[in-house]
Amino acid sequence: MFLIVPGSLILGFLFSSPLHRFVPAVPYLFAFVTLTMAIGCGLAQLRAVVRRPGIMVWTFVLAHVVSPLIAYGLGTLVFGHDSPYVVGLVLFTIIPLGVSTVLWVGMSSGSVPLMLAMVVLDSALSPFVVPTGIHLLFKTAVDTDTASMVADLLLIIVVPTALGVLLHEATKGRIQKTVHPYAAPVSKLCFVAVVALNAAAIAPYTETLRGDLLRLVPLAVVMVGLCYAVGFIGAAPYRSRELQTTVSYATGMRNISLGIVLALGYFSPLAAVPVVLSILIQQPLATLHHYILQKIYNRRTGVQTPGQVR
């Protein structure tokens, strides 16, 4: 994945014209990825997550309070308070958690039920969180298409999750072992296709990436990396590999499609630049984060056993 994800991004840019017509398929590809993850989750696992909401609340605080404040501080330090780049950096941190996080959490031995629950809840709250966050920091009103957001949420998360859990319960968990040899590789291919298609969708706007790139690109890399670090360090008190992995991916990755729509639809093209950069950077850094996690946990046997959600 460390090579495939950046390669998919490059291919998406190089072949943006022929790939652009397939961009509407992205929600359906995401839905299949969600379904593949959900068939490994039963009602008992989801109930355990819902009954102990503390880790979810803490993750949202790290992702949508701590991370935006860091983004605002770094952006202001480099570009000044009035720069549209600061708005873009903050916007990246307050859009909802990314659906693709579920795949990375599954591959890295995190808690898929917890991640699914957080993505659903965070996406449902995003019509309130995003405008409020922007208004508090910049005194700017932002309108969002709540109906479309809910429709996408149902298609990408709720329906496939419900179907996956029902299949798991109906087969008493046997379905996962039966379909995994086929569904797992297809799911990864769908994820790669999503990365390439989103790169193709972004390609027409990359002409705005000029002038301040020498400062903006390193800042975006640092900001996305800090988002992963905030989750990893913030979950350290739980002393659980499962929770640290889940929370670090949750705070590091955001909803690709929504980020682009908000940035390009409600702000200036310059404000969209940090969002586009961060979205591109989050996938390669996800592969690097996966590699680092494996190295860390191979050396730290004290947190190898997944902990319970608190």
Q: What is the CATH number of the domain that holds 97?
A: 1.20.1530.20
Q: What residues make up the domain containing 285?
A: 4-11+25-299
Q: Is residue 306 part of a domain?
A: no
Dihedral angle computed from the Cα positions of residues 154, 247, 102 and 9, in that order, rounded to the nearest 10 degrees:
110
Nearest to 92 by CA among 285, 224, 242: 224
Q: Is residue 309 part of a domain?
A: no
Compute CA distances 202 → 135, 199, 276, whole Å.
26, 5, 7
Residue spans of the chain under pLDDT 50: 303-310
Q: Is residue 117 part of a domain?
A: yes
pLDDT of residue 48: 76
pLDDT of residue 58: 95
Phi, psi of 306 (to 5 degrees): -60, 135
* The two three-digit tokens of residue 106, written as one number: 């599954």
pLDDT of residue 301: 53
Q: Is residue 304 part of a domain?
A: no
pLDDT of residue 5: 72
pLDDT of residue 306: 44
Q: Is residue 17 part of a domain?
A: no
**Mean pLDDT computed over every residue of the chain:** 82
Q: Is residue 310 part of a domain?
A: no
Number of domains the chain contains: 1
Compute CA distances 244 → 151, 234, 263, 302, whole Å.
31, 8, 30, 13
Nearest to 118 by CA among 135, 134, 132, 99: 99
**Contact between residue 255 and residue 97 where contact means Cβ atoms under 8 Å apart:** yes
- Residues constituting the chain: 310
